[in-house]
Amino acid sequence: MENKEKASFAAGCFWGVEETFRKLKGVISTSVGYMGGDLDNPTYEDVCTGRTGHAEAVEIIFDPSQISFDQLLQVFWENHDPTTLNRQGPDIGEQYRSVIFYHNEEQKRLASASKEKLQKSGRYRNDIVTQIVPATTFYKAEDYHQQYLAKRGLRSCRF
């Protein structure tokens, strides 16, 4: 029986974030959806208004004996710009903010330590604006968003 844990991240458009994590050894499954807002059962159209408070997020089920939460954090940090508030590349809005949604106190501790270490590293001129907040209800996005890039034979959102 597999050992399973859950991790949830937001780092811009969820299509590319999902594809990045989906390919990792030890990741059992990924789903894209919405987290961190105040509207129950939001749709993509709702979230795009910028009025629900949700972020486009990826929920990851992983086997910690094959990949650690620290390793997932490293992939998270390396695959987006954590210094831009409510923006990743051309995507602008609160739904594209950088967030680590922690599922337990250990994830909170590891996320905070990794953020502090990265901030002190001097890698970025600007401060890291990534939020570290408790995971809330994850609302799975519509089916056409799931593994969007893989279904279309694309490797990234940049085509």
pLDDT tens column, 66-113? 999 999 999 999 999 999 999 998 889 999 999 999 999 999 999 999
Q: Are 83 and 126 in contact (CB under 8 A)?
A: yes
pTM flag (> 0.75): yes
pLDDT at res. 156: 66
Which residues lie closer than 8 Å to 55 by C-beta, 6 or more apart?
A: 10, 34, 35, 36, 37, 94, 95, 96, 97, 99
Question: Coil, strand, or helix at residue 77?
Answer: helix
Taking the alpha carbons at both ends of the chain, their separation in whole angstroms is 38
- Active-site residue, from 11, 13, 60, 67: 13
Is 13 among the residues known to form the active site?
A: yes
Burial of 63 (0-12, 13-18, 19+ CB in 10 A): middle
What dotted CATH number matches 5-151? 3.30.1060.10
